[in-house]
Amino acid sequence: MEAADLFQKYPHNPLVWDEMHAADSVRPQYQKVFDFLLDIPADELNKKEELAKRLFMSQGITFTVYSSGEGIEKIFPFDIIPRIITATEWQLIERGITQRLRALNLFLKDVYHQQFILKDGIVPVELVYSCPHFLREMQGVNVPYDIYVHIAGIDLIRDSDGTFYVLEDNLRTPSGVSYMIENREITKRIFPDLIPQNKVLPVTHYPNILYKNLVSFSPRQVAAPNVVLLTPGIYNSAYFEHTTLARLMGIELVEGRDLVVENHSVYMKTTSGLQQVDVIYRRVDDDFLDPLVFNPDSTLGVSGLLSAYRKGNVAIVNAIGNGVADDKAIYVYVPEMIRYYLNEEPILKNVPTLHLSKPDDQKHVLANINKMVIKKTNGSGGYGMLMGHVASDKEIEDYKKEILKDPRQFIAQPVISLSSAPCYINGKMQPRRIDLRPFALCGPSGIEIVPGGLTRVALREGSLVVNSSQGGGSKDTWVLA
């Protein structure tokens, strides 16, 4: 097969921003990779794809799907062609996310203390109090350095003119960062020359920054605070990520059953007795953290954890109760928060969003449902969404009933067309829709974002849903110097 065939018939859709192709040329940031791909025989590329798969499998970068009592190892699909971001684009992203996070942290502090923003009528009170993730248990609790969102994975998408939009703020336990790190490790193996040639900025220091921050949150002033990562256990689909992060930071990976609270302090059960825990980087949802306060059936958490937290004897990362800030109905007000708290104009735009509890919005959405994407305010993972432009009449009717039952639970957005990037699929380059999740770390010395992130790909042709649970994959994400 001729190499040039790779890009033959690469379709150009004027309504979609393609990361590699402008109307009739290749964007400069992709030129080197493009030239390289033109020179490479197709079977060479197939070999690289095979190598990538083998590496993921043998290193156990997999998640386990349990069916009929037996675990089957699956790889999170990986496309070998990197997604490239220019230095200028990155600067904007970095500034925009930093600004947004500053405001969101202030919002969380405010909403769990004096509630100025509610009293001033910027964010409607009823919206906050009707949010299931607004936890009254957090009222008046002080957290170290007033930081609530220590780790954020804010999802960005690009409209047809290339403008970046914030699609959602993930402020609870965002996942995927291990894939940012491992995808890069794989790329180093399959395209060893391209990374230095293109001056791609490294991402490997992410765990170091995170560890430095975690240590600084320790309530006890001791030489070596005891930092642990709390995982729901090996059956969790993100378990690989938990072990990777624990290993790279050299901290203990614990499960709820390894911890015990005594006299409002948290201890772990070790072979030489109980040992006090200072900082918990938890990957367990709020609801399961403490059966005495939240879901009483949870076995993933630790009884009494919240009391230890409220006493300030242990730091929990991310803070409890952050869900009120990444609720999709609250999301609408983030630009207002930025103006209110920081007196700045938002750098990154929100996707225009209608909230179905507002009568006018509801009327408009129900009338134009074919042009809308409707989501649950507390949903994630791409579950419970309605894509109006492709849904059947029956699906729409059923969904409408759901909405009318509890309109607070739903928001609607116009169908945004997400940018596309070339992917190597079935021996050809084909455009697929992508998003971007950079990972921002918030510590006492400020907000740091490693240059990169997780680019998720909707691998099905024409699909706009990038979630891994819905057939999405990922790419290595390059930020150029």
Partner 1 sequence: MLSRVADSLYWMSRYMERTDGILRMLKVNHHSSQDDPIGFTWQPVLKIFSNLDDEQIAGMEMNGRKVLQYMVVDRDNPNSVLNMVTKSRENARAVQDNITKELWQSLNEFYHVVRHERLEHSLKSDDPLTVLDSLVRQCMFYYGVTDNTMFRGEGLSFMNLGKYLERAIQSADILDVRFSDLSYDLEKSTDTTYWKYLLLSVSGYALYLKRYRSGFEARNVIDQVLFNVDFPRSVLYSLNQLHRHFGRLKDEQNMEGFAKVDFIIGKIRSKIQYSDVHSVNLTGLHNYLKELTTDFNEIGNALNQSYFANS
Q: Does residue 59 belong to the site contacting partner 1 (CB under 8 A)?
A: yes
Q: Does residue 60 belong to the site contacting partner 1 (CB under 8 A)?
A: yes
Q: Does residue 58 belong to the site contacting partner 1 (CB under 8 A)?
A: yes
Among residues 57, 65, 87, 404, which is the contact residue for partner 1, using CB under 8 A?
A: 57
Interface segment toward partner 1; rule CB under 8 A; list 30-38, 54-62, 297-305, 353-361: 54-62
CB of 468 to partner 1, least distance (A): 20
Site string for partner 1, 252-291 (x = CB under 8 A): xxxx-xx---------xxxxxx------------------
Collapse the DSSP code of 141 into the 3-class scheme (helix H, G, I; strand E, B; otherwise coil) and give the result. Answer: coil
Dihedral of alpha carbons 231, 232, 237, 239, sign:
positive
How crowded is the C-beta side of 301, counted as CA atoms within 13 Å?
Answer: 21
CB of 246 to partner 1, least distance (A): 4
Q: Does residue 239 belong to the site contacting partner 1 (CB under 8 A)?
A: yes
Q: Does residue 185 belong to the site contacting partner 1 (CB under 8 A)?
A: no
Q: Does residue 67 belong to the site contacting partner 1 (CB under 8 A)?
A: no
Q: Per the structure block, which two tokens stand in for 255? A: 């499960």
Interface segment toward partner 1; rule CB under 8 A; list 32-40, 86-94, 232-240, 395-403: 232-240
Residue 15 DSSP symbol = T
Site string for partner 1, 387-426 (x = CB under 8 A): ----------------------------------------
Collapse the DSSP code of 279 into the 3-class scheme (helix H, G, I; strand E, B; otherwise coil) and give the result. Answer: strand
Residue 202 DSSP symbol = P
Contact 378, 409 (CB under 8 A): yes
CB of 184 to partner 1, least distance (A): 16
Dihedral of alpha carbons 49, 52, 54, 60, sign:
negative
Residues 6+ apart with CB under 8 A from 414: 351, 352, 371, 372, 373
CB of 267 to partner 1, least distance (A): 11
Number of residues engaging partner 1 in binding (CB under 8 A): 27
CB of 52 to partner 1, least distance (A): 16
Q: Does residue 222 belong to the site contacting partner 1 (CB under 8 A)?
A: no
- The footprint of partner 1 on residues 362-391 (CB under 8 A) is none
* 249: number of Cβ within 10 Å: 20
Interface segment toward partner 1; rule CB under 8 A; list 8-16, 68-76, 218-226, 463-471: 68-76
Q: Is 453 left (phi over 0), alpha (psi -120 to 50) or beta?
A: left
Q: Which of 184, 185, 196, 203 is nearest to 476 (CA)?
A: 184
CB of 192 to partner 1, least distance (A): 20
Residue spans of alpha helices (H) in 258-315:
286-289, 305-310
Among residues 2, 24, 39, 70, which is the contact residue for partner 1, using CB under 8 A?
A: 70
Q: Does residue 49 belong to the site contacting partner 1 (CB under 8 A)?
A: no
Residue closer to partner 1, measured from CB, 178 or 198: 178
* 270: number of Cβ within 10 Å: 10
Question: Which residues in 110-148 are b (16+ Cβ under 10 Å) and which e?
Answer: bbbeeeebbeeeebbeebbebbebbbebbeebebbbebb
Residues that bind partner 1 (CB under 8 A): 57-60, 70-71, 73, 233-234, 239, 243, 246-247, 250-255, 257-258, 268-273
